[in-house]
Structure 1
Amino acid sequence: MTRPSHSEAPSRPRALSRPRARALALSAVPLVALLAVAGFAPLPYSVARPGQTTDVLGTHRGGEVISISGAPVRKTSGQLRMVAIQATAPQVDIRLGEVIDGWLREDRAVMPRDAVFPPGKSDAEIEKHNIAEMKSSQHAATAAALGFLKKDPDRVKVALRLEDVGGPSAGLMFSLGIVDKLDGGGSGGDLTGGRTIAGTGTIEADGTVGAVGGAALKTQAAKRDGASVFLVPKAECAQVQPAPDGLRLIPVTTLKSAVQALRALAKGGAGGSVPSC
């Protein structure tokens, strides 16, 4: 068998011919131009960040968030804070640099614009849509809470006031606020146990809790505003991991499961009776 000679010098790379080098240089021009255009062209994304939190047991803009008539109302302690995210409006142009920055930051989320806002609508139409969803959510929250407490909706009247937040994701917290004001923890104490509880989740009239968007950003807003506990739809537990330091995550599927978890937590959570993500 003939073996290769180790005395042979290694072959040297040959220089590109001028025509080929020129062709490669010219082919790079469209790529550079494409990147330059992408850097300045608007992209179909929305960048979200942690938004405001509001204590539904308290006041907002001079009035009670939850007003109840037709039944005795308890004086509460602690807080139940609904949480919102703030997203760039559909008419705002998002550039490549903002998208990259959003991907790199933990306090930002980049989402397809159509996943955040109804497509093809103006800012005014979207605001109207969000307000309608909030009103529908408030009606469902009232029905769920009164149904859970077995209160007659013809006798007990609930008014919910939170005009500057749209969408359905405060439903769970509205229901819990009504329950706390009417019944507390069920044995004379507060449903909150004196804590600052935050959370998110839609609510159906039968008490079913639904998933929402931006849950991970909402945990950051909750921690920022003093919450030690965050209620999250069970289906979104993975999305909120890891939680901000010092924030306990409790998964819920129904209004009943949320009330049971908070009552157990108020009693000290003995025996592992409080679920966790």
Structure 2
Amino acid sequence: MPRRTATMLASTLVLIALLCAGLLIKVPYAEMSPGPTVNTLGEARGEPVLRIKGPDTYETTGNLNMTTVRVTGADYRMNLGEAVWGWLAHDSVVVPHDTLYPDGKTEEQSTQENAEEFSQSQESAKVAALRELDIPVATQVVVASVVKGSPSEGKLHAGDVIEAVDSTEVKEPGDVAELVTKHKPGEDVTFTIIPAKEAAAAEKAGRAPEGSRKVIITTEKAPASEGDGGKERAVVGIRAGTDHRFPFTIDIKLADVGGPSAGLMFSLGIIDKLTPGNLTGGKFIAGTGTIDDEGKVGPIGGITMKLVGARDEGARYFLTPDENCAAAAADTPDGLTLVRVKTLDDAVKSLEKISSGKTDALPSCSAS
């Protein structure tokens, strides 16, 4: 066989071997890519994303798009070829698998966690929006969860409103534990509650919950922990949390989306619908950011992918959490203006500047 032919054959075989290896060798990486964006002022799958019942609402135009990121599943294992392709592509990011699914988290666990975070973000978005508009929002302490096999199982239920413990009014979730631990294990503690069903019915009807009743629970000894200093601590087996009573109904309908990063855009959508005029000035604005009850905007993951997704959908401005600004500014798609936000009030004022054409005064992001 001629040397040239042998060399070409050997090279071809090596190439085939490398291609096969690239397809067969699994690597511990996952991929992130731009996900869909949804206009919080519009509809998704034929239904309004925001539906407000009770007060006057106003017509809106323009876009306030929340942004998402697609990720490969927890059980999916990339091959070497896919990883290399992802590293080379500009519209995707390859990251260590444990970055997205730490501690061996399964697909089901991740989905459940994202759903819970999304639900909480909706609640905080409503609270922050109404407080920004100086609309009072009542808070109440509730049973967040009940420990299986604990003294409270079957007596207290998630969603029960806790009005008092041993006739002492409860104002914060921490008050519950403080009052229970005044007892010794084995002693009775009296909870004054409004059952979850009655509380839910009252919220739906737009009234304060009624029908409180007393529930007596015998405390038990808490499992030993380093912080107890050897002392016996009484518990009843619940976790207390905070819930809100809204003066009217705000429904957020959006399927197949998880995580907390849409909070800011939901708040802005609610504000726009509840105020006269047009917050966007008809402009296409996208953004991201978590939000808490006080209106503070927090950072999110996958910022560069969200920027690409927003630009591809036609956004001109992108509301960017302050802590994500450096990463966003280092890789901003052409035609997209980053607007730095720290609070919901910052975002509202920036939208007013965009609407009025005063864009030179917008707070910007820096790569430093």
Q: Which one has the bigger strand percentage?
A: 2
Matches within 5 A, 1:175-190: 175-183=267-275, 188-190=276-278
**C-alpha contact 1:118 1:126 (8 A) present in aligned 2:** no
Let me know the Cα RMSD of the aligned residues.
2.0
1:157 corresponds to which of 246, 249, 271:
249
**TM-score normalised according to structure 1 size:** 0.81
Q: Which residue of 2 aligns with 1:63?
A: 47
SS at match of 1:224: helix
CA contact (8 A) 2:22 2:81 kept: no
Q: 1:202 aligns with which of 273, 287, 290?
A: 290
Q: 1:236 aligns with which of 299, 324, 327?
A: 324
The correspondence for 1:84, drawn from 60, 68, 72, is: 68
1:116-166 Cα shifts (integer Å, max 9, x gaps): 235323222221211111001100111110111111333232111112111
Tell me, in whole angstroms, the C-alpha distance in 2 between the residues paired with 1:147 and 1:117: 35
TM-score (norm 2): 0.62
Deviation at 1:193, TM superposition (A): 1.0
Q: How does 1:1-277 map to 2 (within 5 A)?
A: 40-153=24-137, 154-183=246-275, 188-240=276-328, 241-269=330-358, 272-277=360-365
Q: How many residues get paired? A: 240
Post-superposition CA distance 1:67-105 (Å, at most 9, x none): 112211111000111110101011001122222222221
Q: Following the alignment from structure 1 to structure 2, what is the Cα–Cα distance between the partners of residues 166 and 119?
A: 20
Q: 2: distance between equivalents of 1:121 and 1:62?
A: 34
Q: Are the aligned partners of 1:233 and 1:252 in contact in 2 as well (CA < 8 Å)?
A: yes
The separation in 2 between residues aligned to 1:150 and 1:211, in whole angstroms, is 25
**Residues 261 and 289 of structure 2 are in contact (CA less than 8 Å); yes or no, is this contact kept in structure 1?**
yes
For the 8 Å contact 1:208–1:254, the answer to whether it is kept is: yes
Query: In structure 2, how many angstroms separate the alpha carbons of the residues matched to 1:257 and 1:127?
Result: 32
Question: Letter of the aligned partner of 1:84 in structure 2?
Answer: T
Identity %: 42
Structure 2: runs of 5+ lacking an equivalent: 1-16, 138-245
* Kept after mapping to 1: 8 A contact 2:58/2:277: no
User: What's 1:13 paired with?
Assistant: none
Question: Which stretch of the first structure deviates more once superposed, 59-68 or 74-83?
Answer: 59-68
Q: Which amino acid aligns with 1:216?
A: T
Q: Distance in 1 between matches of 2:26 and 2:126?
A: 42
